[in-house]
């Protein structure tokens, strides 16, 4: 099986050199926990790894030389396939996509997948096919459903106010995520980073949990920003950037009528302040910025840098960590950066 070198679009020449080794490419593809599928320009499958061939989405034991629509879809004659299948979209547009699919399997149950795609090119730059990587989200979603059932049980045993409060938080977070597919899990990850940074700072559990809630809701004000600006693929104009800068205040106005939210309103309002006083909306400086806002600033920046956005690809984790470190004392609180570096050492630099 021949796997296209066009899978890698980065600028790191050393990685490119290593990826020229077919043995390395085959090892990565074989060991991947995700299904890998390669099609030619007609959408006919010319290669896959074992994970994909055993995937519950697949309808035939032998999938090579079959069209992708015959392998993954119950109704292969549906014209809608060409407008929603990520690999077909990539073949038609020439652009890689990230998309979630919910498909019915041959056993009549449903499978949820996240799919990443890219074009494959020959040495002249001509598109000769496309590749899709399929990650089965169903186990995660089932666990999430189990947790939701546990939470419902808590609701029935007297924790109704707490549960309703958390559901409201998650509803706001999901509303933000629905606006922009590039930042779908951003709020959840920022919440987790912020909570862990607080723990490393030696703060009590109540404060760490407040940081988590603030992380979930820190971008709620983006609900009031137009989608054209949020998902703009290029650089924002000065006027558009001024609109973006209003989202912390919009978020406070949205949440201020909710009971028990006063403790985190100021945290959300000031999470874009800079330690040197050059941030927004109030140009607060140093210790005048709420501590949890300073925590959120680091957590938010790190996840933003390590996530794909409409206008750029994600930074390597090491580069993002170095950016946080190099901006200690200017953009970020040195004490918070020190706590973040402990987290980074534990999770990324070992």
Helix axes 334-347, 186-200, angle to 10 degrees: 110
Q: Which of 91, 41, 43 shows the shortest CA–CA distance to 68? A: 43
The span from the CA of 37 to the CA of 52, in Å, is 7
Q: Can you say how many angstroms the Cα of residue 249 is from the centroid of all Cα atoms in its chain?
A: 24
3-class secondary structure for 73-90?
Answer: CCCCCCCCHHHHCHHHHH
Residue 285 DSSP class: -
CA angle centred on 312, ends 38 and 289, rounded to 5°: 135
DSSP letters along 225-254, please? S-HHHHT-SSPPPHHHHHHHTTHHHHHHHH
The gap from C-alpha 29 to its chain's centroid, in whole angstroms, comes to 22
Active site residue 222: yes
Tell me the C-alpha to C-alpha distance, in Å, between residue 171 and each of 99, 176, 179. Answer: 21, 9, 13
User: Of the residues 126, 143, 144, 222, which is catalytic?
Assistant: 222
Nearest alpha carbon to residue 213 among 271, 159, 273: 271
Q: Collapse the DSSP code of 193 into the 3-class scheme (helix H, G, I; strand E, B; otherwise coil) and give the result.
A: helix
Count helices and strands in the chain by DSSP H and E runs: 17, 5
DSSP per-residue letters across 130-162? EEEEEEE-HHHHHHHHHHHHHHHHHHHTT-HHH
**Residue 39 to residue 299: CA distance in whole angstroms:** 39
- What is the separation of C-alpha 350 from the centre of its chain, rounded to a whole number of angstroms? 23
Catalytic residues: 222
């Amino acid at each position: 099986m021949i796997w296209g070198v066009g899978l890698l679009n980065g600028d790191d020449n050393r990685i490119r050199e290593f990826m020229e080794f077919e043995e390395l490419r085959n090892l990565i593809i074989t060991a991947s926990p995700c299904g890998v599928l390669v099609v030619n320009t007609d959408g006919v499958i010319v290669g896959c790894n074992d994970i994909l061939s055993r995937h519950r989405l697949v309808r035939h034991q032998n999938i090579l030389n079959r069209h992708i629509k015959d392998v993954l879809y119950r109704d292969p004659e549906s014209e809608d396939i060409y407008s929603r299948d990520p690999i077909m979209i990539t073949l038609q547009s020439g652009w890689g996509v990230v998309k979630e699919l919910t498909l019915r399997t041959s056993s009549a149950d449903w499978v949820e997948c996240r799919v990443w795609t890219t074009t494959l090119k020959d040495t002249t730059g001509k598109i000769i096919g496309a590749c899709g990587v399929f990650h089965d989200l169903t186990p995660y979603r089932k666990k999430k459903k189990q947790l939701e059932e546990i939470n419902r049980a808590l609701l029935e045993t007297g924790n109704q106010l707490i549960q309703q409060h958390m559901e409201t938080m998650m509803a706001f977070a999901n509303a933000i995520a629905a606006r922009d597919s590039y930042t779908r899990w951003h709020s959840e990850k920022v919440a987790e980073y912020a909570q862990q940074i607080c723990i490393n700072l030696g703060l009590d559990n109540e404060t760490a949990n407040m940081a988590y809630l603030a992380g979930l809701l820190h971008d709620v004000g983006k609900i009031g920003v137009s989608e054209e600006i949020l998902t703009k693929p290029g650089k924002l104009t000065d006027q558009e950037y001024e609109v973006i800068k209003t989202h912390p205040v919009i978020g406070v106005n949205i949440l201020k009528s909710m009971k028990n939210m006063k403790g985190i309103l100021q945290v959300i309002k000031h999470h874009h302040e800079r330690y040197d006083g050059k941030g927004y909306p109030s140009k607060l400086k140093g210790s005048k910025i709420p501590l949890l806002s300073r925590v959120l600033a680091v957590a938010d920046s790190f996840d933003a840098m390590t996530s794909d956005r409409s206008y750029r690809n994600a930074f390597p984790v090491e580069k993002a960590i170095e950016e946080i470190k190099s901006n200690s004392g200017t953009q970020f609180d040195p004490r918070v950066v020190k706590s973040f570096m402990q987290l980074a050492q534990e999770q990324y630099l070992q």
